[in-house]
Structure 1
Amino acid sequence: MDTRLLTARAVAGGQTRRRRRRMAAGAALGLTAVLSVGVAAGPPESGSPPPAAAPARLVVAPPRVDGIAGAATRPDLVGADPKVLHFGVDPARGRYLGWAVAEGVESVRIDVGSGRTVSVDLARSSSALSERPMEGLEVGLRELATEAAFDGRTVTVADGSRQVRVRHWQPSRGLYARAVVIDGPQAELLVAADALRWDEPRRCTAPIQLTTLPPGAAVASCRVDVTGFPGRLNSSLTVVRGSEQSMSVSLQYNEGIERGRTEGNRVVGGRALFRNPTLPQVELLGIPKAHLTATFGWPASGFSEEEAATALAGVRLAGDLARPETWR
């Protein structure tokens, strides 16, 4: 057996995973989308006006999917399809702030009523979670996700001046879950776990669809952040080809953007694009209050400027980014 070859392959695989994680940080995507929308008011606090007097809040959630088994029934499907979350959140118990499927892990970010964010990750193995970093944390969680840790215990680790509480458990055989809250009580982790629905698959959606992918490429991850919706929306997808080539396509919407770039320096498929002269990135122009970009260089690699431009030129965008009912 050629041990040097095996070592080289292992190192290359590790570098690829690290590139894809760096590329995903702070990004946001979209696939074909329809979101369910409602209005809800947060739970009243002591001395506050009754719920009827509280301001309404727009609730956005990924839509239910029919004909697909949930995580409890088919744990082997978790993380296998970037378009599907195999579990959901009871809207009466938690409000979606974001959702994602990437590198074999399905994730949701929810508010259980305190205003803080509880992040929940679900995978088919403890190792998949140990390989998944938490964005915004300097402290690593890898060493915490040992096989023995998934017994429902909660541990607290320091991240600078912040206290990070982490709970690992197995909802059922073949499923591994992790919940994290920053500067919040352990009780919020338990409330979040109780709000999860393991046989309620939902679609990982956003108001953008790629209709033209480079030859041999496929969408490998979906990430959506609706924390500031409807005023702000971030989404991203990762397009891959083989194990070494990747490209990030990101949408950033903000109603506060007065005016975007109007003059491009490229035209592809009759659509104006701007090739950034200092970054390996192209932007599709003409989208009000939004930036839609494709990054094809570091930390991504393997795709050309032409392939990135072609992918953007084939984008299908929702009619109104601030109105989920138009996300078709």
Structure 2
Amino acid sequence: MTDLDQRISSTLRERAEGAVDTNRLTARAVAGGRARRRRRRAGAGVALGLTAALGAGVIAGLPSTGPAPQLAAPAVVAVAPPRADGIPGAAARPDLIGSDPQVLHFGADPARVRYLGWEVARGVESVQIDVGSGRAVTVDLARSSGALRQRPVEGLPGELGNLAAEAAFDGRAVRLGPDARPVLIRHWHPASGLFARAVVSEGTAAELLVAADLLRWDQARRCAAPLRLTALPPGATLAGCRVDLGAFPQALSATMTLTRTGERWMSVGLQYAQGVAGGRTEGNRTIGGRAAYLYPKGDQLELLGFPKAHLIADFGWPTVGFTEADATALLAGAQVADDLTRPETWQ
């Protein structure tokens, strides 16, 4: 038995509320983990239909207390969102969760995890981390269970939002879908007034426990991105910030979301990939002396001239309430980091 086998088996025994066949559970977890590590899948999405989701089960013996198992630190430690000194963490001020689209009121130990992304949107703060297994564990944090119910789990039908009902926050791991491609979800209260959800696709319950153990509720971090907006259209406010680093430094994306009164939305996204050979050079618009391109449907405007990257403002369906003029004003004030692979230059 390997060291990882022993740690998982030990954890299951410590947390068991009744008799648990640890040999069988450990063998399944380790065998599945080894096969998936060979594939090195870090994505969180998995295509599951409602029929498969109805075959959900609960993995017993995983309450919210007790020591978490230990996994090796990721081989590659990627960039972490920088500390936001002077801003209290979630444990001290749970009322601040989701209140500022540029601040995460919790984080993870950057020496023990690899950040794959972070996001603040619609009252929920999220991080995606690799705790050493090669898979993405997504952790969502909110001030209420209702906020999590409004935020769907990627790859699962929206009808399963009732999984975030008040009674679900008991620390157990719930398995959805068939054994071949399960999604594991765990809801718990890290502290008074905090509602947390951890999700891993095709992973193990041990990964959810490790992720929870490595989270830090006494710190705040900035939603730093290689894209900065210095001017917003009239009446618009910044509503969301998302950074995806699953393939960093070979590729990354950053998206900022704007809103206006009356459920009006617009987004601007930066997508970068080292493998991009070239890009559009001739535009049909000009923004601040730079070439820009309005796409044929008239609802996307791209500012040109960024090597291996696209900077596009999207004001089309399903959102309404913003125009080409708004997108022009937004892109005119957009600033992109000189070197997208150097996070220390991000804002």
Q: TM-score, normalized by length of structure 2?
A: 0.77
Residue 219 of structure 1 is matched in structure 2 by: 238
Alignment-derived partner of residue 243 in structure 1 = 262
Task: Count matched residues.
Answer: 278
Local SS of the residue matching 1:310:
helix
The equivalent position to 1:156 in structure 2, one of 164, 168, 175, is 175
State the distance in 2 between where 1:125 and 1:295 align.
Answer: 30
Provide the rounded CA distance (Å) in 2 between the counterparts of 1:78 and 1:64: 16
Percent identity between the two aligned chains: 62
Q: CA RMSD in A?
A: 1.9
Q: Which has the higher contact order (CA 8 A, sep 6+)?
A: 1
Distance (whole Å) between structure 2 residues aligned to residue 225 and residue 210 of structure 1: 18
Question: Which digits, 9 at most, give the CA deviation of each residue in 1:6-65, with x for residues without a partner?
Answer: xxxxxxxxxxxxxxxxxxxx9xxxxxxxxxxxxxxx948xxxxxx9xxxx7352100001
What code does the residue aligned with 1:183 have? E
Q: Is the 8 A contact 2:286 2:292 kept in 1?
A: yes
Shift of 1:299: 1.8
Give SS of 2:271's match: strand
- Contact 1:274 1:283 survives alignment (8 Å): yes
Taking the aligned partners of 2:85 and 2:158, their CA distance within structure 1 comes to 39
TM-score, normalising length from structure 1?
0.81
- Whether 2:186 is the aligned partner of 1:167: answer yes
In structure 1, give the amino acid aligned to 2:153: M
* Structure 1: tracts of 5 or more residues without a match: 1-25, 27-41, 45-50
Partner of 1:178 in structure 2?
A: 197
Q: 1:118 aligns with which of 134, 137, 148?
A: 137
Aligned equivalent of 1:108: 127
Q: Distance in 2 between matches of 1:265 and 1:226?
A: 32
Distance 1:187 1:72 in 2: 24
- Please point out which of 83, 90, 95 is paired with 2:102: 83
Q: Which residue number corresponds to residue 9 of structure 1? A: none
Distance of 1:242 and 1:300 partners within structure 2? 12
Letter in 1 for 2:216: R
* 1:92 CA drift (Å): 3.0
SS in 2 for 1:306: helix
Instruction: Evaluate the alpha carbon distance shift between residue 142 and residue 310 of structure 1 in structure 2; reply closer, same or farther with a 3 A threshold.
Output: same
1:211-248 deviation line (CA, Å, top 9, x unaligned): 12111111100000011111101110111111321101
1:63 partnered with 2:71: no
| More strand as a share of residues | 1
1:1-328 equivalences under 5 Å are: 43=72, 57-138=76-157, 140-158=159-177, 162-278=181-297, 280-328=299-347
Amino acid at match of 1:285: L
Instruction: Tell me the CA shift for residue 82 of structure 1.
Output: 0.3
Q: How far apart are the structure 2 equivalents of 1:161 and 1:245?
A: 41
Do the aligned residues in 1 keep the contact of 2:113 with 2:130 (CA within 8 Å)?
yes
Alpha-carbon distance in structure 1 between the residues aligned to 2:274 and 2:90: 36
Code of the aligned partner of 2:137: V
Indicate if the aligned counterparts of 2:87 and 2:219 stay in contact, CA closer than 8 A: no
Tell me if the contact between 1:271 and 1:313 (Cα under 8 Å) persists in the aligned partners: no
